[in-house]
Structure 1
Amino acid sequence: MKRQLFLRTLLLATWPVAAPAAPLLKAGVFDPAQQAPEFALQGSDGADLTLARFKGRLVLLVFGFTHCPEVCPTTLATLAQARKALGPQAAEVQVVYVTVDPERDDLARIRQYLAAFDPSFIGGTGTPERLAAMRKRYGVVAEKIAQPQASAYGMNHSTSVWLIDRTGRLRAMMPYGHAAQDFVHDLRLLLAGR
């Protein structure tokens, strides 16, 4: 009897126990999470724009340009809807929009552009070299594309949104086209420390 009890206890002690499943994010997860590359740009709010500035808050990092005909305005409108749906928790989320077109996107233009979506959004610009180095660290591509008018051009660029947690770790990347509710789902999980 003692032997059976001992064997049963030993079996239970060595039986693999599944850990509770981690909540699944809708975005593609970086596993393991890694420290997001720091950056230093000029902010559309008049202050230096760095990642460290937002420690303790979630950062949604977006790359785009103000002449973008579809992707950028759609993404920014989606993020504005997500922040609104978060209610009071929206104060813990910062959208940072970094231009891929410093030739046309000065601080005044970026500020005016972002204000049409959400006045809390902060844009960033810098020298072409500094922006290119930042894009490289984040794995972002951006290239000019010619338009029929000789003086005009468009930009092809990465369209995902990078989700950075309160401690500055790159947690996930949300591909273009996700609804505001997907962002709300993921932001609530990250705000809860998951």
Structure 2
Amino acid sequence: MKHRARIPAWLATAAALLSALCALAADRPTLKAGVFEPPRAAPELSLDASTGGTLSLAGYRGKVVLLGFGFTSCPEVCPTTLAVLAQARKRLGPQADQVQVVYVTVDPERDSADRMRAYLKGFDPTFVGGTGTPAQLAAARKNYGVMAERKNIGNTYTVGHSSSVYLIDRQGLLRGMMPYGRLPDDYVHDVRALLSE
């Protein structure tokens, strides 16, 4: 007499769970940015906003947030990144209102809220900057794994820093990290993919 192999209940449950997770992942849009899998809650910010008041990511729930770190005295990387983000926002057309660019300084000594507001306005008047105490900003960088290092140059200094942009979806989940040097259309593609969910 032949005996059928019996599948343990735990194995059947695990297989069903794995199948469900694969189906969920398959439903997610393909991003050009590096993805966080699984997505996780984006660490909250509580900083001084360039628009006045407190900068909090929770205040932008329902929008896709593009979060970067930099400083107003940056000679090349930051203005390049902000110009790309401004171009991407223009190319989004009517969907641009569903996107918020947030730029957090790595140079609290020079970057007041007023200075950040004036600087960001030159790229796009909707961009919001964040500043605060050195301790507050260090905590924000740590939460996002951002490196920043002051480098003295004669009587002044610059700041070497991570230059990727984080993509946060409308539910406040960290979904992707776009490396420096990508084109506006890459951002447009990913923002539209996240808005389509």
TM range (shorter): 0.7 to 0.9
Aligned length: 175
Residue by residue over 1:57-110, the C-alpha shift from the partner in whole angstroms, topping out at 9 and shown as x without a partner, is 110001000000000000000000000000010000000000000000011110
1:128 pairs, out of 134, 137, 157, with 134
* Offset of residue 23 of structure 1: 3.3
Structure 2 distance, partners of 1:180, 1:39, is 26
Q: State whether residues 29 and 194 of structure 2, in contact with CA within 8 Å, keep that contact through their aligned partners in structure 1.
A: no
Q: In the alignment, which residue of structure 1 is the partner of 2:121?
A: 115
Q: In the alignment, which residue of structure 1 is the partner of 2:52?
A: 46
Tell me whether 113-122 or 44-53 shows the greater mean CA deviation.
44-53
Q: State whether residues 65 and 169 of structure 2, in contact with CA within 8 Å, keep that contact through their aligned partners in structure 1.
A: yes
SS across alignment from 1:185: helix
Q: In the alignment, which residue of structure 2 is the partner of 1:159?
A: 163
Structure 2 distance, partners of 1:21, 1:57, is 20
Q: In the alignment, which residue of structure 1 is the partner of 2:174?
A: 170
Question: TM (normalized to structure 2)?
Answer: 0.86
- Return structure 1 stretches of 4+ with deviation > 2 angstroms: 18-23
Gaps of 5+ in 2: 1-18
Show the 5 A alignment for 1:38-187. 38-147=44-153, 149-150=154-155, 152-187=156-191
SS across alignment from 2:166: strand
2:31 pairs, out of 22, 25, 42, with 25
Identity %, equivalent residues: 62
The alpha-carbon distance between structure 1 residues 168 and 22, as it changes in their structure 2 partners (threshold 3 A), is: closer
Residue by residue over 1:21-48, the C-alpha shift from the partner in whole angstroms, topping out at 9 and shown as x without a partner, is 7532100000000000111001000121
Question: TM (normalized to structure 1)?
Answer: 0.87
* Aligned alpha-carbon RMSD (Å): 1.4
Structure 2 distance, partners of 1:180, 1:56, is 22
